[in-house]
């Protein structure tokens, strides 16, 4: 194994190959407790597509498995190491290569943090819509690999809906570029969509061309409503959608989820609360639309329906759902 790692180190710039057991320990698992991680032979901390290419060529030649890794915030075990693998970290590939406000797109390396891209877009009156709850620590590459959703997906779609094109390194080290930079792109196979959500099984995504959207002019208004049954809450959701209100966020939690949240945050949900609905509107008419959603919840048997009047109150209502650093 030492000879193999010497060959890998020779193919990469100094400092890319990490064999220190303590550092490997920090890399070999993600946030899931359901998957027991194996023991990788090393970590490669890539800084460029060339580093990924060299690693994949070496791994293919020596039949060594590779586990790509972003921020390690996943809960499905996708970034957990296996015995004898190379853990390929893309966290240091964290440059926003381009931000084009005219065409409403950005080109970002795989290690860019989701929230950092959104903040950069905000400076141009734009936003990056996908917002998994781990957006402050999860990477674009990890979001792409898992086709991450987020609370705003009811209006803006999931990660796949925000991707125009990709750069990916295949198993043998070849670099593949897919997609386009335009809204319309109907010719040929849609390899971009195929790669998004593939969990690294088709190749290692190194950068992406991403679609941005106009940022709402004002903070959204949030509604939180508790219900005596899941069925009543579900009927309220149907009524909100039938009213064509197009909420920017719509989250329905059942009793089992509320019990877990209550155990953690001690929010004091009584036994009468069997479901909780959180909705949000980010249009110019947010206050009126949110009031309609609140009234709709009341009409369908809500025990209590709160409406935010400030951005701080909106964050407070959302905090019921969000766990810092978790997807």
| C-alpha closest to that of 142 among 86, 201, 206, 71 | 71
Of 173-187, 226-240, 310-324, give the lowest mean pLDDT range.
310-324
**Residue, of 217 and 13, whose pLDDT is higher:** 13
Residue that wins the pLDDT comparison between 175 and 151 = 175
CATH 3.30.465.10 residue ranges in the chain? 96-214
Least confident of 38-42, 118-122, 255-259: 255-259
Q: Work out whether strand 163-169 and strand 175-179 pair parallel, antiparallel, or are unpaired.
A: antiparallel
Residues of the chain with CATH 3.30.43.10: 2-89
Q: Indicate the CATH number for domain 221-318.
A: 3.30.70.3450
Share of the chain above pLDDT 70, in %: 97
Could you report the per-residue pLDDT of 264-295, keeping only the tens digit for each?
Answer: 777 778 889 999 999 999 999 999 999 999 99
Alpha helices, DSSP H, located in the chain: 2-11, 21-27, 49-62, 114-122, 140-146, 153-156, 191-195, 230-242, 255-265, 286-299, 311-318
CATH 3.30.43.10 fits 2-89, yes or no: yes
CATH 1.10.357.10 given to domain 96-214: no
**Could you write out the DSSP letters of every residue in 25-76?**
HHHS--S-SSS-----SEEEE--SHHHHHHHHHHHHHHT--EEEESSS--SS
User: pLDDT at residue 324 above 60?
Assistant: no
Q: Where in the chain is the domain with CATH 3.30.70.3450?
A: 221-318
Residues 6+ apart with CB under 8 A from 49: 93, 167, 169, 175, 206, 207
Q: What is the mean pLDDT of the chain?
A: 92
Please choose, from the candidates 97, 91, 104, the residue with its C-alpha nearest in 3D space to the C-alpha of residue 51: 91
């Amino acid at each position: 194994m030492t000879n193999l790692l010497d060959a890998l180190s020779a193919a990469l710039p100094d400092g890319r190959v990490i064999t220190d057991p303590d550092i490997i320990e920090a890399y070999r698992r993600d946030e899931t407790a359901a998957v027991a991680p194996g023991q990788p032979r090393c970590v490669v901390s890539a800084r460029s597509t060339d580093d990924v290419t060299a690693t994949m060529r070496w791994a293919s030649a020596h039949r060594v498995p590779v586990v790509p890794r972003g921020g390690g915030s996943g809960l499905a075990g996708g970034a957990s190491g296996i015995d004898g693998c190379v853990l390929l970290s893309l966290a240091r590939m964290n440059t926003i290569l381009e931000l084009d406000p005219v065409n409403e797109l950005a080109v970002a390396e795989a290690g860019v943090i989701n929230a950092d891209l959104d903040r950069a877009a905000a400076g141009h009156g734009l936003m990056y819509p996908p917002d998994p709850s781990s957006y402050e620590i999860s990477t674009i590459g990890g979001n792409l690999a898992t086709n991450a959703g987020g609370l705003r997906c009811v209006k803006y779609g999931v990660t796949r809906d925000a991707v125009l094109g990709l750069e990916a390194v295949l198993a043998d080290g070849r670099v593949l570029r897919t997609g386009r930079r335009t809204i319309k792109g109907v010719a040929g196979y849609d390899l971009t969509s195929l790669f998004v959500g593939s969990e690294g099984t088709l190749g290692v995504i190194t950068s992406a061309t991403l679609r941005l959207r106009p940022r709402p002019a004002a903070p959204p208004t949030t509604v939180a409503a508790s219900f005596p049954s899941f069925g009543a809450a579900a009927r309220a959701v149907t009524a909100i959608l039938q009213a064509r209100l197009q909420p920017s966020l719509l989250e329905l939690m059942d009793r089992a989820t509320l019990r877990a949240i209550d155990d953690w945050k001690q929010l004091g949900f009584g036994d009468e609360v069997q479901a909780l609905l959180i909705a949000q509107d980010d249009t110019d008419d947010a206050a009126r639309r949110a009031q309609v959603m609140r009234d709709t919840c009341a009409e369908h048997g809500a025990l209590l329906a709160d409406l935010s009047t400030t951005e701080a109150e909106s964050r407070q209502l959302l905090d019921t759902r969000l766990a810092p650093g978790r997807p």
